[in-house]
Chain A
Amino acid sequence: MSEIGAQATTLDRPTRIACTDVNSADLRAHCQSALAAGARMQMAYAWFPDESSHPEVRYLLHWGGERPLHLWRCRPAGSALPSLAPISPLLSWYEREITDLCGVAFSDQPQPEPLVLLPGAHTARPALLPGLPEPVGYTPAMPSRLPQMSGPASEDVQRLPFGPIRADVLESAQFDFYYLGEAILHYQPQLFFKHRAMEKRFEGVTPSLGVVLAERVSAVGGVAHALAYCQAIEAAALCEVPLRAAWLRSLLAELERLYNHMHYLGHLCHTTTLKVGEAQGKYLEELAKQMNARATGSRLLRSLLVPGGLRRELRLEGLLEALEEIERQYVPYAALLEASTSHLDRLNTTGELSPQLAFDQGATGPIERASGLDRDLRRDYPYAAYRELPFEVALKDGCDAHAREQVRMAEILQSIELIRRILRGLPPGPVRASCEPRGGAEGIGWVESPRGSLYYAVHLDRAGQLARVKIKSPSFSNWRVFPFTVHDSNMMDYAINEASFGLTVAGCAR
């Protein structure tokens, strides 16, 4: 067993990630015994060590409890790796993405269709294979292959293809519904129309410029993405950020959670047609964004993070007052939402996600915490200043849309409280340290984003430029889970259920 760099914190020695080489023949047995011991797979990705064309597949595990994260490295022997999806279903999408972009095959994959590439789309060679020139993609207009319906009532089954351009100002994605009256029999999302090849865009970029890309993978998670990226680079460089920068990073992360959750409430009210509730939620989001702009120069909190700390100081005067004005308006608003039966009637028992399903399919963030799974990276593997900022993880066990709303409501109050504590305890000092990872280094960083766990794995080439960056976003995990709550539900509840998950397509498709 060896170790690789994982993100460092200024408040503790660098956390190390345990690392094991696993023989492809033993992969399933390893996975089986880890799962039996209560572990959960976090992600899988492939990269090409030493700029060769021989891929290595990596699996990140979370054992639970106090044990550090664990990484398995596996080289495919022969043409394929055994698929782990039959025993750990959440890995299915990771494997399909690896097949699409890195050309690694998985034997006995239960769903061998492409994931990231649309039906009929292809590239001349695996897109993530290092070296020039990058292949040009080809995506023909082709209908997706859908299941055939049979049985006595099959004539009555209707199909509703919805998207990829949807009504309202929304991200592009296509949803196919098969339904009978109101009942949804089958639901199939196609979420990768927006795949922009963001992981590939990092190739050859310097570590300090890579943060500009990370901020633009999923805009409303820009702080989380930039922070996870910076932490991965800092882990590779064994660099520690100044204490003040660590605290300000937690501040930015909570400001991001705040405006995201306000937007969530406004949008959820939109789907339950609570018009005033929608207006107020979106107004609070606007107040939060204007507060962000005054403190940081950016409504979406961009252009601040950099490997080594922050690019500049924040303008903190007036922040507390603006925050308390938002709190003053938020508290009665939330109380009114919780007392509105027309709103609650639409949320209760909608989109039920059992704890078992949430665990097996990889639900993360507020979604898993609303199904009773007690996980939060801020507490489990503290980064930035969270070790100094203990808080109680918001947890509900209602498993439905209402529980998902309640978790976010609790997190809003918690974020306000955390920001208050940060402003009180903010240490003085510089906000940036030099951070120069050496060539060939690698690192992993993580953040509990507003939508759940986010991981960045970075690999540098010999010259110290980025060779491979893997992004595991929370929406990738939660979109995987979401369809399980749609099957056997009804059309009227669909939009409410989708809003209750609070997903982004950009984060999923990258």
Chain B
Amino acid sequence: MPLWTWYGLKQGKVSTNWPKAGEDGQAGVLGMPRFDPTKCEDGCRRCADACLPGAISMAQAREAGSSAAARLEVDYGRCVVCQMCVESCPRGAFATSEDWAFGTSRREDLLWAEAIASSEGTAVRNEIRRTFGRSLHIRHVDSGSCNGCESELQALNNPYYNLHRLGIFFTASPRFADLLLVTGAVTYALRGPLLEAYGAMAEPRFVMAVGTCAVSGGVAAGGYSCGRGLEGVLPINMYLPGCPPNPAAIIHGLLMLLQRMPQRLKHGQLTAGADRA
């Protein structure tokens, strides 16, 4: 065994210091496509046809004279980052991006919309900060995922991200947990166990939907085995779509919940100067 001690010491420190400084480890990762409605062609619906989970949809035709862009609705809460819209658009209205910091505390912020005045939103986060200070214990529940979110959640504890350095821990018992972190589309079979886990948590307790499936059902939505993720199942304090969200995006979402990082996304658009988290 001394061999392993020596080996471990010799490997040195490999953890990133991000978000304080250094690399986030996501070089090259394609994020949610950016949408520029000014480039849309009238009557074109190629992107909507190429969007399997229905993140892009055509609103009901309004009165004559309304522009094509006004009729296209984009919901990042349903986006599975497959990039099909980018490939199908002949005019470049959807473009690949490295935007993955998509954690939001309000579901509406995942909808692409013209900026509207917002007054609400910080009460919950202030409460979390007051309650938990800067540490957080998480109970993860897989409610019917493809194992992609689990793969990235497991990565949080690898030496590179080393989640413990941020004072965030996974815990086995919901009794000790502050946050219920849910992945997957919530199958009917797992709905009961999920609600039991939530019921076992002490107040105050919070819920985070990680991955597009938990936010909206993703590609598994509907049908005979599951509904639309956490929609209508539990109250959600933090939405983090992505398919799967990468480890840095998950860290961003968790730190956002603790008010240690700001929300980047408002009304489906990243705030200025926030190309990367």
Contact = CB atoms under 8 A, between A and B. Distances in A.
Contacts of A315: 28
A138 B191 CA distance: 11
A219 B147 contact: yes
B151 A300 contact: yes
B142 A172 contact: yes
Shortest 5 CB-CB contacts between residues of A and residues of B: A219-B148, A167-B172, A297-B30, A282-B158, A137-B224
Interface string B1-25: 1011101100100100000000001
Contact of B27 (A118, A220, A274, A294): A294
Interface in A164-199: 164-165, 167-172, 192-198
B28 A164 contact: no
A169 B223 contact: no
Interface string B252-266: 000000000000000
Contacts of A200: 223-224
Contacts of B216: none
30 contacts: A165-B193, A168-B170, A169-B157, A170-B150, A193-B189, A195-B144, A195-B225, A196-B146, A196-B185, A196-B226, A197-B226, A200-B223, A212-B82, A216-B146, A218-B147, A276-B5, A280-B7, A282-B159, A286-B155, A294-B27, A297-B30, A297-B96, A299-B152, A302-B81, A302-B82, A303-B83, A311-B87, A340-B3, A504-B147, A507-B147
Contacts of A39: none
B26 interface: yes
Given A168-B170, A279-B159, A194 B28 contact: no
A277 interface: yes
Contacts of A196: 144, 146, 185, 187, 220, 225-226
B224 A286 contact: no
Given A213-B219, A285-B155, 6 more contacts: A141-B192, A169-B170, A295-B28, A297-B29, A298-B30, A311-B87
A222 B226 CA distance: 21
A413 interface: no
Nearest to A125: B224
B151 to A, nearest CB: 5
B267 interface: no
Given A201-B220, A212-B52, A280 B11 contact: yes
Interface in B178-203: 184-185, 187-194, 197
A139 interface: yes
Interface string A299-337: 110110000000100010000000000000000100010
Interface of A: 118, 121, 123, 127, 134-139, 141, 164-165, 167-172, 192-198, 200-201, 205, 209, 212-213, 215-220, 222, 263, 266, 274-277, 279-280, 282-283, 285-286, 289-290, 293-300, 302-303, 311, 315, 332, 336, 339-340, 342, 504-507
A139 B188 contact: yes
B153 interface: yes
Contact of A194 (B52, B142, B170): B142
A167 B177 CA distance: 12
B141 interface: yes
Given A194-B142, A194-B145, A279-B8, A138 B188 contact: yes
A267 to B, nearest CB: 8
B140 to A, nearest CB: 5
A300 B148 contact: yes
B125 to A, nearest CB: 24
Nearest to B98: A297
B82 A279 contact: no
B27 A276 contact: no
B77 interface: no
A294 to B, nearest CB: 4
Contacts of A299: 29, 152, 246
Given A193-B190, A302-B82, A342 B1 contact: yes
Contacts of A263: 151, 154
A507 B150 CA distance: 13
B271 to A, nearest CB: 24
A297 B32 CA distance: 12
B80 interface: yes
B218 interface: yes
A135 B141 contact: no
A127 to B, nearest CB: 5
A201 B219 contact: yes
A206 to B, nearest CB: 9
B224 A169 contact: no
B188 A172 contact: no
A300 B223 contact: no
B147 A505 contact: yes
Contacts of B244: 219, 300
Given A286-B155, A289-B155, A127 B224 contact: yes
Contacts of A297: 28-30, 83, 96
Given A197-B224, A290-B27, A340 B4 contact: yes
B164 to A, nearest CB: 12
Nearest to A292: B28
Contacts of B219: 201, 212-213, 216
B95 interface: no
A220 B50 CA distance: 24
Nearest to A343: B4
A296 B223 CA distance: 32
Nearest to B50: A209
B74 interface: no
A216 B218 contact: yes
Given A193-B190, A196-B187, A303-B82, A168 B246 contact: no
Contact of A336 (B4, B84, B170, B187): B4
Given A165-B197, A209-B52, A137 B188 contact: yes
Contact of A276 (B8, B50, B154, B246): B8
Nearest to B3: A336
Contacts of B5: 276
A280 B12 CA distance: 11
A123 B224 contact: yes
B160 interface: yes
B143 interface: yes
Contacts of B144: 172, 193-196
Interface in B112-139: none
Contacts of B148: 216, 219-220, 222, 300
